[in-house]
Structure 1
Amino acid sequence: MFYLTLVICLVASILITPMVKKLAFKIGATDKPNQRKVHQKIMPRLGGLAIYLSFIIGLLILRPESTYAIPIVLGSIIIVITGILDDMIELSAKIKFIAQIAAALIVVMYGGIQVEFINLPFGGVVEFGYLSIPLTVIWIVGVTNAINLIDGLDGLAAGVSSIALITIAGMAIIMGDGFVVAVASIVLASTLGFLVYNFHPAKIFMGDTGALFLGYIISVLSLLGFKNVALISFVVPVIILGVPISDTFFAIIRRIVNKKPLSAPDKSHLHHCLLRLGYTHRQTVLIIYAMAAFFGLTAVIFSQAKVWGSFVVVAVLLLMIEVFAEKIGLMGHNHRPLLKLYREIRYSTVKDR
């Protein structure tokens, strides 16, 4: 029944997406080109509605048993309604932020999904106490927006989310968490069905309806899979979501360095930088897919490593991310501290010879 449900979700998404496309044009949920957009013509958004409807169909068929199911669905309803309205009339950032907090609070307060403590690698426990609720809400809202930020090219957010869902489902299988496996697999099948129409050249965008929903569900599933565990294991979901999290992190750094508001839009995200380097639309998306897969594989290796081995993995990973970000100009062409340090050391070495 499990595999049949996944096939049904995949087919449902493929069949529903063209209907959602027609609906998007009827209600004005379209994306017009501007100086920040890559596309050159008016495109229907709202495609995330097809992903969500297929997801609901999968839940109704499979009915995975868990006390978390109803709170997750209730929170998702708020997220999807917010996304639909934003795709139609472009809500203010404040309204979207409030809606995301409301959705997060439902799964935290009603569902009991909280990171309450962390076991330290060398003994001892860190109890979060009253901070457990705000920390969990920050995680959910942060990941939700991180997925939304990378939704800048055809198939990019859908593909990166799919890779994250595969990794989360795989890790859940290892840990024996049937509920996370079921929900992640249903969302994955629904997203892959939509990707048929969304990969370059896209016929429809997922819009905020899809980006916010995928960010929300991935953030919650990653918490379910890795909450109340060792500090080392808690890093796993951060690595799994390495692409959207690092892109968001460097966007914040970039705006601080350039003395711009954190909410200010720009064309210096990961995909913009790769496009400027001369890669085609499709090549850029595939490169970022490969990066997401690399992060997913690293997360699996990290989870199986010993304490000191895991520290080495994180250190090497952080160094690689920083060097790559400086190479492609993710923080701006003038902000390259490690590369400048390397050149100075190399110059001094050559001079001493």
Structure 2
Amino acid sequence: MAVYVMYLAIAMALTLVATPLVKKLAVRWGAVDKPDHRKVHTRIMPRLGGLAIYISFAICFFLFVPKTKEALSIFIGGTIIVITGAIDDRYQISPKAKLLGQIIAATIVMVGGLRVELFNLPFDGQINFSWLLSIPITMLWVVGVTNAVNLIDGLDGLAAGVSGIALLAMSVMAFMMANTLAILFGVILLGAVIGFLFFNFHPAKIFMGDTGSLFLGFNLAALSVLGFKQVALMAFIVPILILGVPLSDTFYAIVRRWLHKEPIFQPDKNHLHHCLLSMGYSHRKTVIVIYSISAVFALSAVLLSQSKQWAAVIFIGVLLILLEMGSEAVGLMGKKTGPLLRFVRLFRVREERLENTRSGK
């Protein structure tokens, strides 16, 4: 345990040193973020901060991580993602070009042997995938998680903090399963993220940009495949819960745009952080609230992995209902009330009418 804490501290220190240097590079190179109608900040900010996270990660990778085929594939794929994100932070490339970089990175990870090959189901069930199914499922997972983290990067410290909480949970799970490679990746990335948060938490001095959000999303996706292949309980429920905030926000964005007949990839201001800001929460409080939600998801994942299967199924059902009600309450589905809350209100009105009838009113 002590050696992992040391690795985390080294990664954090490296990011603390690298971030001011990257900030100067971003300004000189012109990788800056200008305010617009969708963004919360009101002044030009240097981005490219994710490069500092990558530099810290790369140094620690070469110093401490065994150079297995799986480890090298994650590192090379992550490097391609960083290059893609850095080019976008400077030149604003098209979504198709960014997607191409993600597909190449995901392909490298799969060539390295990281693929979703089975689903472990409740009550000792299992679904095994042939390579024809394994490849598209893995591709969808890696690209989906990568973009999910990118989508929540809308407030100071939000994507970094949520990713840090997810990395902590994954590291704990990997430690419980004695998965050394997953632990190393988890603690090194966690240390790098913590170091970056000193500069990125509100009020931010630098943004991580697509360089950082895509890199963290990619590594979270790859780490989940690396670390949870053999989880006894529904292999992908655990990482889905750990990544509950970015994945659910992305899911509701897709549903919301489909319901309103808007293009799926069209940006809007109805993500979770936008909704909380519109409810009157301050910038800092909004981030802390989302941190808290992410921590609940992460803790639930850890507890779920240790639960009996029948209890886990009930727990997941209750959690999904609470998630839906919460999303409807804050307006993730749009301004109109969602179906669950509408049902609750109708039930409440019906109960009030029955009570009034009984009392003779």
The bucket for the TM-score relative to the shorter chain is over 0.9
User: Distance between the aligned counterparts of 1:124 and 1:38, measured in 2?
Assistant: 47
2:216 matched to which residue of 1? 214
Displacement after TM superposition at 1:240 (Å): 0.3
CA contact under 8 A between 2:149 and 2:216: conserved in structure 1? yes
**Alpha-carbon spacing, 1:112–1:174, altered in 2? closer, same or farther (3 Å):** same
Displacement after TM superposition at 1:335 (Å): 4.1
Structure 2: where are the runs of 5+ without partners? Answer: 356-361
CA deviations 1:284-308 (Å, max 9, x no partner) are 0000001111001100111111111
Pairing of 1:1-353 with structure 2 (within 5 A): 1-109=3-111, 111-129=112-130, 130-230=132-232, 232-353=234-355
Q: Secondary structure of 1:118's partner?
A: strand
User: Distance between the aligned counterparts of 1:3 and 1:237, measured in 2?
Assistant: 23
Q: Secondary structure of 2:143's partner?
A: helix
CA deviations 1:51-81 (Å, max 9, x no partner) are 0000011112213353311111110111000
User: Distance between the aligned counterparts of 1:120 and 1:325, measured in 2?
Assistant: 27
CA contact under 8 A between 2:32 and 2:45: conserved in structure 1? yes
- The one-letter amino acid of 1:113's match is L
Provide the aligned length of Structure 1 versus Structure 2.
352
Displacement after TM superposition at 1:351 (Å): 1.5
2:358 matched to which residue of 1? none
**Alpha-carbon spacing, 1:128–1:335, altered in 2? closer, same or farther (3 Å):** farther
**Identity between Structure 1 and Structure 2 (%):** 53
User: Distance between the aligned counterparts of 1:174 and 1:105, measured in 2?
Assistant: 29
Structure 1: where are the runs of 5+ without partners? Answer: none
CA deviations 1:300-340 (Å, max 9, x no partner) are 11111111101111111111111111111111111411111
User: Distance between the aligned counterparts of 2:38 and 2:276, measured in 1?
Assistant: 15
- The one-letter amino acid of 1:23's match is L
CA contact under 8 A between 2:119 and 2:235: conserved in structure 1? no
User: Distance between the aligned counterparts of 1:207 and 1:225, measured in 2?
Assistant: 27
User: Distance between the aligned counterparts of 1:45 and 1:320, measured in 2?
Assistant: 36
Range with greater deviation from structure 2 (166-175 or 218-227): 218-227
Displacement after TM superposition at 1:264 (Å): 0.4
Q: Secondary structure of 2:69's partner?
A: coil
User: Distance between the aligned counterparts of 1:185 and 1:8, measured in 2?
Assistant: 10
CA deviations 1:127-181 (Å, max 9, x no partner) are 2111011101100000000000000000000000000000000000000101100
Q: Secondary structure of 2:109's partner?
A: helix
User: Distance between the aligned counterparts of 1:9 and 1:301, measured in 2?
Assistant: 28
Range with greater deviation from structure 2 (140-149 or 224-233): 224-233
User: Distance between the aligned counterparts of 1:321 and 1:229, measured in 2?
Assistant: 24
Q: Secondary structure of 1:68's partner?
A: helix
User: Distance between the aligned counterparts of 1:92 and 1:276, measured in 2?
Assistant: 30
Q: Secondary structure of 1:126's partner?
A: strand
- The one-letter amino acid of 1:184's match is G
RMSD: 1.2
